[in-house]
Chain A
Amino acid sequence: GAVVSQHPSRVICKSGTSVKIECRSLDFQATTMFWYRQFPKKSLMLMATSNEGSKATYEQGVEKDKFLINHASLTLSTLTVTSAHPEDSSFYICSAAPGTSQTQYFGPGTRLLVL
């Protein structure tokens, strides 16, 4: 099946710093990728839709200036958490679907801890 990778898998940072998370589709091209957030023992919440070559579409309640998304190529989307605070600590997961596939493939996730 299609493979989606994320880097880093785990990051610890100080409050006020920015963190960049990469999401790559390894064996397919993806014009659209999705970023989700998951709190411990909770479900996944869609944060934004990342569109290659254009601006991301954010879900209601998600601050676009805080969660910067860049989809510069057909295989890479990045999520930057700017001026991170402890409440941004979470599990961030990206997903993508190859071509006309109906199946979304999820990355392994990035666990962010802000101290």
Chain B
Amino acid sequence: ELKVEQNPLFLSMQEGKNYTIYCNYSTTSDRLYWYRQDPGKSLESLFVLLSNGAVKQEGRLMASLDTKARLSTLHITAAVHDLSATYFCAVDGGTSYGKLTFGQGTILTVHP
């Protein structure tokens, strides 16, 4: 059974600081996704990582994937309040494409 674990689960940051969210998963996969969820809303796709060593950046967020370590990271640079949300990683590890197993989510709060 595929397990996906994120840490930390709660992250309180000051504006301007940097931090990293980690996503570990238990079985081989080369398809990993990061999503953002605002309170009461659905999921917004942030990054799609499809190969070992993949690195993608959008604004203050950068995601990477190490399939050998079964680890993905989401790095936040110079955080701003607008980044406050819940961030999920999800792994597509099933035999049928598209079946995602989600991490627990990381609740990020950015303070002034």
A residues bordering B, Cβ < 8 Å? 1, 32, 34, 42-46, 49, 57, 93, 95, 97, 102-109, 111
Contacts and interface: CB of A to CB of B under 8 A. Distances in A.
Contact of B42 (A32, A34, A49, A108): A108
Report the 10 A-B pairs with minimum CB-CB distance, sorted nearest first.
A106-B43, A109-B42, A43-B102, A44-B102, A108-B42, A106-B42, A43-B104, A103-B48, A43-B105, A102-B48
Contacts of A44: 43, 88, 90, 100, 102
Given A102-B48, A104-B33, A97 B98 contact: yes
Given A102-B31, A102-B48, A102-B50, A46 B101 contact: yes
Interface residues of B, number: 22
B68 interface: no
6 contacts: A43-B88, A44-B90, A102-B31, A102-B50, A109-B42, A111-B40
Interface of chain A, helix or strand or loop or mixed? strand
Interface of B: 31, 33, 35, 40-45, 48, 50, 88, 90, 96, 98-105
B96 A93 contact: no
Contacts of A97: 98
Contact of A104 (B50, B96, B100): B100
